[in-house]
Amino acid sequence: MTDILILTGAGVSAESGLGTFRDEDGLWTQYDLNDVCTPEGFARNPELVHDFYNARRDNCLNSAPNAAHEALGRLQRDSRHKITIVTQNVDDLHERGGAAEVLHMHGALSGALCHSCGARWPAPPVMDPLAPCPECRLPETRPDIVWFGEMPHYMDEIHRALGQASLFVAIGTSGNVYPAAGFVSEARAAGARTLELNLEPSSVAGQFDAARLGPATRTVPAWVDEVLAAE
């Protein structure tokens, strides 16, 4: 049983039509992340934050998983390997591509959270900043997304998996945001081999044993087919 930890970023969903953040036409060229991806931005203008995530939720609902998501779903169903998928993405394309138990360390568009009482519930397609929390009734609802300055989810589980992985693969992430950008060095320190599948070298490319550059819909199925063909 080979333990493989896979970390994905926005690049794995790019060919499904969902925007990345730091490419030349990325979301952070259209919005100031301080306005839509921080608790301070939400306190200043909750309506702008809801508009931002309602647009991304609509984009996600009208998109489809691509060959990279489907290949990772195929890999995870192969019983010879223990595949842990950790994603920085908040879309559900891994799940719709056949993956299960995906660790969404930055939260998910499908979730809603009360900023006041901490209640969680399934997000409606369009969230209304004036809608009351179903628990405390205060109009403090927000998308269940981890913003800058907030603690990502599943960190204990992720550190455990990084300590056990024999292979760490990063797919479609620029390696600019911690703690995810630090996972490769943690995996290496625990003895894992490391592979980067990306359109271009990430900011932490130098820490990988190997890299394959190209679109995820080409590099990921090719890599998965190799893993599944090996004894």
Catalytic residue list? 106
> Taking the mean position of all CA atoms in its chain, how far away is CA 19?
13
Q: Which is nearer to ligand APR, 131 or 199 (CB)?
A: 199
Burial class (CB in 10 A: 0-12, 13-18, 19+), 11: buried
- Those residues whose C-beta lies under 8 Å from the C-beta of residue 206, and which sit 6 or more positions away, are none
CB of 135 to ligand APR, least distance (A): 26
Smallest distance, ligand APR to C-beta of residue 65, A: 14
- Among residues 162, 166, 199, the alpha carbon closest in space to that of 179 is found at 162
User: Which CB atom, from 119 or from 199, has the smaller least distance to ligand APR?
Assistant: 199
- Contact between 211 and 173 under an 8 Å Cβ cutoff? The reply is no
The residues pairing with 104 across neighbouring beta strands, listed in sequence order, are 87
Residue among 54 and 66 whose Cβ is closer to ligand APR: 66
What is residue 199's DSSP assignment?
S
Q: Please say which residue, 9 or 41, places its beta carbon nearer to ligand APR.
A: 9
Rule CB under 6 A: which residues touch ligand APR?
Answer: 9-11, 14-15, 20-23, 26, 88, 106, 172-174, 176-177, 198-200, 202, 215-216
Secondary structure letter of residue 167 according to DSSP: E
Closest-by-Cβ residue to ligand APR is 11
- CB count within 10 Å of CB 195 equals 20
- Round to whole Å and give the CA distance between 50 and 180: 25
Residue 1, burial from CB neighbour count under 10 angstroms (0-12, 13-18, 19+): exposed
Output 133 or 173, the one with its CB closest to ligand APR: 173
The nearest distance, CB 54 to ligand APR, in angstroms, is 17
Output the DSSP codes for 181-197. GGHHHHHHHTT-EEEEE
The least distance separating ligand APR from the CB of residue 18, rounded to whole angstroms, comes to 10
Closest separation in Å from C-beta 152 to ligand APR: 9
Q: How much of the chain is helix, strand and coil, in % rounded to 5?
A: 40, 20, 40
